[in-house]
Structure 1
Amino acid sequence: MRVLIIEDDTSIAANLYDYLEGAGYVVDMASNGPAGLQLALSQPWDAILLDLALPGMDGLTLCRQLREEAHRDTPVLMLTAKDTLDDKLVGFAHGADDYLVKPFSLKEVGARLAALIKRYKGQVAQTVLCCGDVRMDLATLAVERHGRAVKLPPKSLQLLRILMQSPNRLFSRVELETQVWGEELGDSDTLRAHVYTLRRALCAEGEANLIETVHGLGYRLTVSDASAS
């Protein structure tokens, strides 16, 4: 999942970036309003974290342009030091989906962000993915196979989530690389290395390999229709 942070406070932006990347998100940042709007319109995002007080263009104007002029419905979580009811109502009136007052807990940011994205994608009622004997809790991102905890690095975790959300679907290499790394992909072997890491972790106890390589095309997670939910 892809999240854009538009925040001019470098310390806050860095903390948000590190926290969200560690949770498996693909993250990019902008430090002013015009650059943030350009990034918001140039790529698809699952959510935007938007500071209210930005140089060049304030968050309210940016959000209004995103909604009324660009007709984008990307979820926007507005971050601001203003905490009155009137301030919040103005934010909602300009198109914000949620409002978080500084200083805030990174865990609360993560929880609100996850809730916004689930609602946006129509997954509010879905809290667990099950494919065969693999289970992923979408709230905690904990993964189990046959009840055994599976430890994965953030990028492999995000890769597994994408595959489990559409079992038996063939994903091209380019599609997976774009969804997981965006423009950050280092070289052509990065995806292959993470698929290898994912397979080793899932099959650590000798279980069957669920991730199929379709040579020249991409990858898919193969399960029977009855065991995917």
Structure 2
Amino acid sequence: MPRSPLSILVVEDHPTIARQVVDFLDGLNWHADHAATGALAIDLATREPYDVVLLDLNLPDVDGLAVCRAIKQRAPRNVPVLMLTARDAFEDKARGFHEGADDYLTKPFDLRELALRCEALARRGQLHVSQQMQLGPLTLLQREKRALYNSTPLALTQIGFQLLLKLCTAYPQAVSRSALMHEVWGANPPDSDALKSHIYALRKQLERAGAEQMIVTIPQLGYRVVLPDV
């Protein structure tokens, strides 16, 4: 059975290891971002709704345990963290789990096992995601792939619902254009005009239901959901 595409943040300062992991994940048609420093990892993980964060403990600027703690405290949702490290002592693993790590993989590792662990963590995370999401007057019924605004059904296309769900899951953070395009089209997205067209249609449906300017453009980044009176 083919794997469902996942969005992964690879936090690794060793360029060869980072390239191997990113290339492998790209080969699975997954979306992989790379951060070589702890500061960049925290910034990305608190802006993008990743399915899993692969976190090396030995980073040049911030200790990996502190990065894990910051991600768990500040990310828009409880993203699973898989620690990658050469530290294999029980005490090291215990500290990692105490700081919020969800799994631990010791270097060197098999990339196939890495992918399996990512899938398991992503599935585990989805078990805790409610099938109904409520953001102010907006209701998303995930199982039925329907949305309502003040109980008024929105006539959304499948792509429109995917985009709205991605934006609402990240709320109040913005979602980059590349992340939105990967959510809908995977590793083979069309040109950016296609995304603009779908965002335009989604906005029109929200406006017809009384939601003015609910999806705002963040220049040079992407889009963000804004709720009334917030």
Shorter-chain TM-score category?
0.5 to 0.7
Selected match of 2:181 from 177, 182, 193: 177
* Residues 10 and 18 in structure 2, CA contact (< 8 A), matched pair in contact too: yes
Aligned to 1:187: 191
Q: CA deviation at 1:185?
A: 5.8
Alignment TM-score, normalising by the size of structure 1: 0.58
| Residue identity matched to 1:61 | A
Structure 1 position 81 matched with structure 2 position 86: yes
Q: Unpaired runs of 5+ in structure 2?
A: 1-5, 129-142, 147-156, 164-179, 203-230
Identity %: 41
1:107 corresponds to: 112
Distance 2:145 2:108 in 1: 40
CA spacing shift, 1:24–1:167, aligned 2, 3 Å: farther
Shifted more, 166-175 versus 34-43: the winner is: 166-175
Distance 2:66 2:107 in 1: 20
Aligned ranges 1:67-78 → 2 under 5 Å: 67-69=72-74, 72-78=77-83
Q: Following the alignment from structure 1 to structure 2, what is the Cα–Cα distance between the partners of residues 173 and 14?
A: 34
**Does the C-alpha gap of structure 1 residues 167 and 22 become closer, same or farther in structure 2, counting only changes over 3 Å?**
farther
| 1:35-114 equivalence runs, <5 A | 35-69=40-74, 72-114=77-119
Q: Are the structure 2 counterparts of residues 172 and 34 from structure 1 closer, same or farther at C-alpha, using a change threshold of 3 Å?
A: same
Paired residue for 1:136?
none
Q: Tell me by how many angstroms 1:54 deviates.
A: 0.4
User: Structure 1 unaligned runs (5+)?
Assistant: 124-164, 192-213, 219-229
Offset of residue 55 of structure 1: 1.1
Match of 1:120 among 111, 125, 136: 125
Q: Which amino acid aligns with 2:159?
A: F
Q: Show CA shifts across 1:78-101 (max 9, x none).
A: 000000111111100011000000
CA distance in 2, matches of 1:43, 1:71: 8
The residue aligned with 2:20 is 15
Which aligned segments of 4 or more residues in structure 1 are displaced greater than 3 angstroms? 68-72, 165-169, 188-191
Q: Give the whole-Å Cα distance in 2 for the aligned partners of 1:71 and 1:92.
A: 20
Three-state SS of the structure 1 residue aligned to 2:192 is coil
1:206 maps to: none
Question: After the TM superposition, which of the residue ranges 172-181 and 66-75 deviates more from structure 2?
Answer: 172-181
1:103-152: CA deviation from partner (whole Å, max 9, x where unpaired): 000001001010000110129xxxxxxxxxxxxxxxxxxxxxxxxxxxxx
SS at match of 2:88: coil
Q: State the partner residue of 1:154.
A: none
Instruction: Tell me the CA shift for residue 43 of structure 1.
Output: 1.1
Q: Which amino acid aligns with 1:57?
A: V
Q: If the length of structure 2 is used for normalisation, what is the TM-score?
A: 0.58
Provide the aligned C-alpha RMSD in A. 3.2
> Within 1, Cα distance between the matches of 2:116 and 2:190?
30
